Amino acid sequence: MDPERDFSELPEPGEPGSPRVGVDEWVAQADQLEERPTGIAGVLHRVGEVVTPPLRLALFVAFAATLPLWLSTGDLFNYGIFVLLYVLLGLGLNVVVGFAGLLDLGYVAFFGFGAYFYALLSSEHYGIHWPAIVTVPLVVVSTACLGLLLGIPSRRLLGDYLAIVTLFFGQAFVVFVNATDPVVAGKGLTGGPNGIADIDPLSFFGFDVTTRTQQYYVLLVAAVLVLVALHFISESRTGRSLRSLREDPLAAGAVGIPVNRLKLLAFAIGSGIAGLTGCIFGTVLTAVTAGNFDIPILITIYAVVILGGFGSLSGVVVGATVITVSFQFLAPENPQSNARLLFYTVIVLVLALLVRSWWRLALVLAVTVALGLSVHAIVEAVAPSWTGGAVVEGGRFADAIGNWVLIPQEHANFGNFAYVTLVVAVLVLTQIRPSRRIFALPFVAYLAAVVWETSFVLQPAVARWILFGALLVVLMNVRPQGLLGTSRVEIV
Amino acid sequence: MSGDPAPLLELRRVTKSFGGLRSVDELDLDVREGEIVSLIGPNGAGKTTVFNLVTGIYTPDEGAIRLDGRDIAGLPPHKISQLGIARTFQTLRLFLNMTVKENVMAAAYGHTKAGVLRSVLRTPGMRREEREIERLAEERLAFFGDRLVGYRWEQPAYSLSYANRRRLEIARATAAKPKLLLLDEPAAGMNPVETHEMTELIGRLREEGGYTILVIEHDMHVVEGISDRVIALDHGEKIAEGTFDEVATDAGVVEAYLGSAGAERK
């Protein structure tokens, strides 16, 4: 640079004639320049712009409140109550992981602690029957304190180290609860593997919460209160500082935010919510055992938060709904027609997300259908035994599927081979050029349908996890920030 | 600066070693109220370490650091920030996934009070405080003219250009209401026009904001344009101190920058 250059000759920025360097005007027009998402993603995007948080909450409450009117008691338990339980658990985890960015893998232990502590104070176990109006606040505060207690030694740990310590804590809880041997020691503190049974129902001012509908409404009230409270916290000084410590703890400290104290606060709020959920969970099941608070539940809660998007409150509600409902649809004891419906919906959704233009999507779907029909017709003419199998569980939709998908009569390993081929086909699909991908989509979609009808339908317990994993993988590729998340995720 | 008023920031024989390396070696440094002091020196001279010591990210091995006569060595960073020292970072450290306005609002934490309970209940006091924080943030951002106002408030910080990120860091630092502002290479990576603008901006920060400023800068035009006093560091030791002209022509400083051969040629 020329050392003699006099910068005072230059016009001031903003004056006429000043260089427009750095006044990146295209950023000013970013809204107009932004590529509008098309297809399904576009519709969702526009809906999201119109629906503000209060309206979202109102819609959610309006919908959730009518649920007991048109769901059977069993369905209300399986869908309504469990969705709300996962909403609450997801909201608590979201404070720790989503707001404050602390990877807490022991979260489910606080849920368990809440449930067990409530059970000890309100059941036949010790013959203590404190009223819920005393027990619930006591349990929530104690669980929050336990969160603090775990937080104090962990607050200097970052990332992976924190994850390992908290994971250990979670496992230690399960081992501790299971440790009593009922044969030797009687029921002990926790009842060991038998857990604690006959937990008192929640009761407020002499009113017992016993029926499923009542329990559902108690959960709904709790979920709405927690949602509103967390929304207000998120929009406050505390929420901002929690997020800033997630973004950059060092910078947060440098602008006056007491980083360690806020980490403890996040732990305490998150565990308190988990403790509250534990109380309600115990009364809903009327019994608690250690298996209810083990790794699979932790994974599911994380899936709820990841699917919805870290840091997003409505994301938790969406994530909990999607995951609980799809898990129930895929449950072995439920009719396969539900699972089938879910499967084909997911296939169409995935295609819609990948194709992102209405007429192309229609084309891909038409080609897929035509492909199936012609493959089926050709095979039937050449080798009838390959199409002679029956569709599991009839119905009009299933019958139509039977005329479209290859279901061999014998050929026992066909399903397994088809599954392996599908995995390879999906891998190939991710490797070919995006512009050519659309041509491969109908084949892969059809293959997936074949695998479903010949293999997964027969083993729902395995299929639910495979489908669930596939769902998360697809989501993480299409929207790494989660359905309603806003954080930018760097993909390297 | 007549007489000898007690300095706002005072470092006495401050030493910090990493392993066997003395990064800062018995450093004495004063910044008086209302001054703009530049800290210069080759890469690795210990300039940023001085900032990290003053802001509490490191604790000095020996020596005293005083702000307004109060010893702050060893206090945690947020305490020091609340006592009146704010800083920017050489490698930008913004809250990238928060909006521009939130970045600045977050820095008001130290001088605001509303706790969790009041936030949940949205008490009138809490809402008043929120409005004040918001107004403070808007005012601090408006300091940069049309660079960081209007539609940018609600944009995430990661959408900003490099120069605007530097400006946002300064806005965030000022929102902590400091007495002393530490700027770590505010003009790094900026083009000549932006550098010129930054030079004026640092002057305005003192005139209009009333901040005392300690700045690390490599761009000698900026250093010349802003400094009341320049301090040169090399190997963690102070090698020169004085006006820009005195320090720029100091043989030791030239040697530190160019090596002894360069000094001879001069």
> A261: nearest CA in chain B?
B78
How many beta-carbon contacts under 8 Å exist across A and B?
148
Phi, psi torsion values for B234, nearest 5 degrees: -150, 135
CA distance A220 to chain B (A): 19
pLDDT at A468: 78
CA distance B164 to chain A (A): 8
pLDDT at B146: 79
pLDDT at A490: 58
Q: Give the separation between CA A63 and CA A321, rounded to whole angstroms.
A: 12
| pLDDT tens, residue by residue, A448-477 | 999 888 888 878 778 778 877 887 777 777
Q: What is the mean pLDDT of residues B78-107?
A: 95
Q: Give the separation between CA A246 and CA B264, rounded to whole angstroms.
A: 52
**Domain limits, chain A:** 53-329, 338-458
Q: Give the separation between CA A144 and CA A274, rounded to whole angstroms.
A: 9
CA distance B62 to chain A (A): 22
Q: Give the separation between CA B33 and CA B180, rounded to whole angstroms.
A: 8
Residues on chain B touching A240 (C-beta within 8 angstroms): 98, 102, 105-106, 109
| pLDDT tens, residue by residue, B191-205 | 999 999 999 999 999
Average confidence score pLDDT of chain A: 85
Q: What is the mean pLDDT of residues B210-220?
A: 94
Residues of A numbered 23-42 whose beta carbons fall under 8 angstroms of chain B's beta carbons: which are they?
Answer: 23-24, 27-28, 30-31
A53-329 CATH pick, 2.30.29, 3.50.50, 1.10.3470, 1.20.950: 1.10.3470
Structurally, how many domains does chain B consist of?
A: 1
Are residues A22 and B109, on separate chains, in Cβ contact within 8 Å? no
* Lowest-pLDDT choice from A3-12, A212-221, A350-359: A3-12
- pLDDT band for position B2 (50/70/90)? very low
Q: Where are the alpha helices (DSSP H) in A122-248?
A: 132-154, 159-178, 182-185, 212-234, 237-247
Q: How much of chain A exceeds pLDDT 90, in percent? A: 45
Q: What is the mean pLDDT of residues A88-95?
A: 97
Residues of A numbered 225-244 whose beta carbons fall under 8 angstroms of chain B's beta carbons: which are they?
Answer: 229, 232-233, 235-241, 243-244
- What is the CATH classification number for the domain harbouring B253? 3.40.50.300
pLDDT at A114: 96
Residues on chain B touching A148 (C-beta within 8 angstroms): none
> Which H helix or E strand runs over A443?
helix A434-454
In a domain, B43, yes or no: yes
Q: Which long-range contacts (CB under 8 A, 24 or more apart) does A9-14 make?
A: A10/B193, A10/B196, A13/B145, A13/B193, A13/B197, A14/B145, A14/B146
Task: Give the alpha-carbon dihedral of B141, B147, B153, B155, to 10 degrees.
Answer: -140
Phi and psi based region of residue A266 (left: phi greater than 0; alpha: psi -120 to 50; beta: remaining): alpha
| pLDDT tens, residue by residue, B13-37 | 999 999 888 999 999 999 999 999 9
Amino acid at A147: G
The boundaries of the domain holding residue B223 are 18-84+178-265
pLDDT at A302: 93
